[in-house]
Amino acid sequence: MDAFSLGLDHVLTLSALVAIVIGTIMGVAVGVLPGLGSVIGITMVLPFTFSMEQVPALALMLGIYCGSVYGGSISAIVINTPGTPQAAATALDGYPMAQRGEADLAIGWATVASVTGGLFSVGVLIIAAPQLAAFSLNFTSIEYFALGVFALICIANVSRGAMSKGLLAGAIGLFLATIGVDHVTGDMRFTFGSFEMTAGISLIPAIVGLFALSEVFIRASESTRVKAVIAHNVGFRLPPFSDWVPRLWLLLKSCVLGSFIGTLPGTGAATASFIAYSEAKRSAPNRDKLGTGEPDGIVAAESANNAVTGSAMVPTLALGIPGDPVTAVMLGTFIVHGLAPGPRLFTEHLDLVYAVFLILVVVNLVMFVVGALGAQIFTRALKVPEPLLMTMVVVIAIVGAYGVRGNPLDLVTAFLAGLGGFALRKAGFPLAPLVIGMVLSEMIENSLRQGLLLTRGSFLAFFERPIALTLFILTAFLLVWPAIRWLRGRKREARNDIPDV
Amino acid sequence: MNIIKTVLAGLVGTMAIGAPALAQDFPAKPVTIIVPFSAGGGTDITTRTLAGPMAKALGGEIVVKNTAGAGGTIGAAETARARADGYTVGMMPVGPMTTQPHLRELPYDPDSFDYVCQAYSAPSSLVVRQDSPFQSLDDMLTYAKENPGELNYGVQAVGSIPHVAGLGLASASGAEFTFIPYKGSAPTFKAMLDGSIDMFVAHISFLTQNSDQVRSIAMLTSDRVSTAEDLPTAAEQGVPMNFPIWGGIVAPKGIPAEAKAALEAACEAGMNSDAFKARMAELRMPIAFMGGDDFEAFVKSEFDKNDKLLTEAGLKK
């Protein structure tokens, strides 16, 4: 309790609170802008954090981190371009809602789901950080492989309408991510002798091109047609509580999924949101409407990806293993101030651990306010004349694509991805499976090959590990689930067909 | 007479003002340091820590630019190809300078650069889990020789210094390991904690930060490290090894001599600043300044040493 009140003292200072507010606003802003994500946001403030005190420095970074994961959903909803890869699943239902003129409501759903997910994961962090960290050590390369395969099923679930096209898009995504260095042998693949290609296809320029630029191309190609005028609602509208009640179970489940996946270093919020979306597709109350602008999809994706923010701190603080570049920088901030992460942190500096928890709670509350006020501005983008809006999108997309690693090839990647995205969309291919493929490719391939090195080449040994086996069985179950449901439906029909005697 | 005096005085005055102006020709605009890895990593943070005091000494501005990708080679190539005017330099670590060029065709080699200074050199260490049965290098090597290939040796990237060090250890001791490549240090550390791997080579600051979970069984340095006197070296345990993880500032070949001199002086002053020293002390990193000429000779000798090790291991392409 003493440590808790000390932690509270750390957070309830003017500098810490100001840092939280500034960080969250910045985070939402970089999240909204496609291409600029959590990493760019953190890099921008990195030089300042060196001279800041420890708690405000952490507050600033946590604000940016959580804010950016949430902010990505706003552009996913408003312009069908996930501001960050984490929000790719949000576009699936968010954008159709905006097209119906309900962007304000969609943002409302996303905000409440994000804040709930964020707060839930802080709760998880408070109750069980050391235990969860210990559990995450049961995940070796073999379990990561099983998890990756499990997550691939999402491709089937987000390929609305055209399953074969979805699978093909997923395969393209898996393939694109193999370009560049083979991390197991160090060889180069599919670079065609071009040195620039050795850096591979970077995810962010690809997403910016696939979504933002292809959207611009699509609109440009349709400009001659007269479009139905949609009355867009501007601003921020909270969904009524009665609409939440039937979705509480879905919300809880997505929070749990996100919180758990977040504790596994290197998996990330994008994977979490796709898995949660996929689970919603299987079991949500309105699963049949998913993909057509159904809030269930937003709720699942946004609560899961924000639940990652809190739980990603679990391995970072308790083991000293950062899960992504953002937590890596935060870890650096701890170290700069002489705090070694790891089990000892929780015994020797519990007050600071509590300070992190409390910062996360405040950040999530501030995020709600920033989202509600920000939505007033962002949704107005829908009323900006289309040529102007699309020009802005192009400029932002180019800055974002180049900004990540400063490699001019990334501009070419973004442009080609834009053309590719345009062609795929025109041909009726869904884009989300492509992103899932790109996100999961490296994890699946590397963990499979590392796993085979660990088992000295035995595939059978993969099935001897209980967690991996469970995941493989779940994967198999989910693959046959649609068939089971169809069979059951037929039986019921058959039973109804029996004439009354 | 008075007029002549005035003119002369004026001339002298102009020369007096003109002289420092000449010396200050460089820098006339901000200098960019290319970091070949992402923001927030070890190389990036060291560069950003140095950039402040170095800019002050240089009397100009320094911008840090991250060009990440392909093990640092994209940033190194960008540095080699930049205009050789001294306004674009790179903070190039050991990997892209001395191991990557042996692994594949690259548009640069050590002769593509002018050398400004070495900015850091961190001792490396062979680490095991705290609860590992191995107390010394000898324990581990004895076991490895009795059970060839059974011990898993994690590497952060194929052909990286930790990998080269492991190859060196295997060839010097006759032990056999199974090398398992991960992508970066965080996943490698995770693999050690989850029991997948038995050992890996890490930077001294990593060892310092994670001392409750890992310990060193051998420092891979020729002598004991001043910031870690208590840790025995591999050499003391019968296997001489020296694998520092270093980096320094290089420029495209052919920069003006005055720019090179100004950058070298600023680098030295920056590294001797209190801010930089304090930061390095926190990480238990020694201050390891080396002037341009020494650094060039050092890089070239490392280049040849790693060439030999990678060739022996059959990794050289």
Reported as a single tens digit per residue, the pLDDT across A253-312 is 999 999 999 888 878 888 899 999 988 988 888 888 888 889 999 999 999 999 998 888
> Is A338 close to B282, i.e. CB distance below 8 A?
yes
Written as one string, the DSSP assignment of A84-138 is: SGGGHHHHHHHHHHHHTT-HHHHHHHHHHHHHHHHHHHHHHHHHHHHHHHHHHTT
pLDDT tens figures, A12-46: 999 999 999 999 999 998 888 887 778 778 877 87
Q: At what angle do helices A88-99 and A268-283 cross, to 10 degrees?
A: 60
Q: What's the order of all strands across the beta sheet hosting B62-66?
A: B62-66, B31-35, B88-93, B245-252, B113-122, B290-291
C-alpha pair distances (Å), A145 with each of A442, A458, A469: 10, 14, 11
The predicted complex's ipTM stands at: 0.82
* CB A465, CB A138: distance < 8 Å: no
Q: What is the pLDDT of residue B105?
A: 86
Secondary structure of chain B: what % helix, strand, coil (to 5)? 45, 20, 35
- 3 state SS for A380-396: HHHHCCHHHHHHHHHHH
* Average pLDDT over chain B, rounded to an integer: 88
What residues of A are in contact with residue B191 (Cβ under 8 Å)?
140-141, 450
Kindly report the CATH number that applies to the domain delimited by B31-121+245-312. Answer: 3.40.190.150
Q: What is the pLDDT of residue B198?
A: 97
Q: Are A336 and A50 a contacting pair, CB within 8 Å?
A: yes
Residue B12 Cα, gap to closest chain A Cα (Å): 44
Peptide bond into B27 cis (omega under 30): yes
Q: What pLDDT does residue B4 have?
A: 55
Superfamily of domain B124-219: Periplasmic binding protein-like II (3.40.190.10)
Where in chain B does DSSP place strands (E)?
31-35, 62-66, 88-93, 113-122, 124-129, 152-155, 178-181, 200-203, 214-219, 245-252, 290-291
Q: Which residue has the higher pLDDT, B146 or B66?
A: B146
More confident residue, A495 or B108: B108
- Residue A224's pLDDT is what? 57
Q: What was the pLDDT predicted at B16?
A: 44
- Res B184: pLDDT: 83
CA distance A58 to chain B (A): 14
Cβ atoms of B51 and B64 closer than 8 Å: yes
When pLDDT is averaged across residues A433-457 and rounded to a whole number, the result is 91
pTM: 0.84
The residue written with tokens 């060892």 in the block is B207
Which of A124-133, B21-30, B79-88 is modeled with the greatest confidence?
B79-88
Q: Which residue has the higher pLDDT, A286 or B22?
A: A286
Q: List all residues of chain B from 169 to 228 with a beta carbon under 8 Å from chain A.
A: 178, 180-183, 186-187, 189-191, 193-196, 205, 208-213
Q: In chain A, which residues have their Cβ closer than 8 Å to the Cβ of B67?
A: 405-407
Task: Among B48, B183, B282, select the one facing A183 at the smallest CB separation.
Answer: B183
* Region A86-94 average pLDDT: 90
| Mean pLDDT of the region B242-260 | 93
Q: Where in chain B is the domain with CATH 3.40.190.10?
A: 124-219
Mean model confidence pLDDT for chain A: 86
B106: closest CA of chain A, how far (Å)? 7
pLDDT in tens, A216-260: 898 888 765 555 556 677 788 889 888 888 999 999 999 999 999
Q: What is the mean pLDDT of residues B290-300?
A: 95
Task: Report how far Cα B57 is from the mean position of its chain's Cα atoms.
Answer: 22
Check pLDDT > 60 for residue A62: yes
**Residue environment code for A255-278, b if the CB has 16+ CB neighbours within 10 A, otherwise e:** bbbbbbbbbbbbbbbbbbbbbbbb
Instruction: Quote the pLDDT of residue A455.
Output: 94
% of chain A surpassing 90 pLDDT:
33
B290: which DSSP letter? E
Question: For position B1, what pLDDT does the model report?
Answer: 45
Q: Do residues A366 and A83 make contact, with C-beta atoms less than 8 angstroms apart?
A: no
> How high is the pLDDT of residue B15?
44
The DSSP secondary-structure symbol of B283 reads T
Probe site for chain B from A192, A407, A446 (most B CB atoms < 10 A): A407
Closest CA to A80 of A236, A205, A200, A210: A210
Mean pLDDT of A415-438: 90
pLDDT in tens, B27-56: 899 999 999 987 767 788 889 889 999 999
- In contact, B181 and B157? CB cutoff 8 Å: yes
Give the DSSP H/E element, type plus range, for residue A189: strand A188-189
Contact list in B for residue A46 (CB cut-off 8 A) is 39-40, 45, 48
Residue B177 CB contacts under 8 Å (≥ 6 apart), including other chains: B144, B149, B151, B152, B153, B166, B170
Q: What is the pLDDT of residues B299-312, one digit of tens each?
A: 999 999 999 988 88
The rounded distance, in Å, linking the Cα atoms of A377 and A383 is: 11
What's the confidence (pLDDT) of residue B23? 46
Question: What was the pLDDT predicted at B17?
Answer: 44
Give the residue with greater pLDDT, A339 vs A366.
A366
Please give the residue of chain B at the shortest CA–CA distance from A337: B282
Which segments of chain B belong to CATH 3.40.190.150? 31-121+245-312
Kindly report the length of chain B: 317
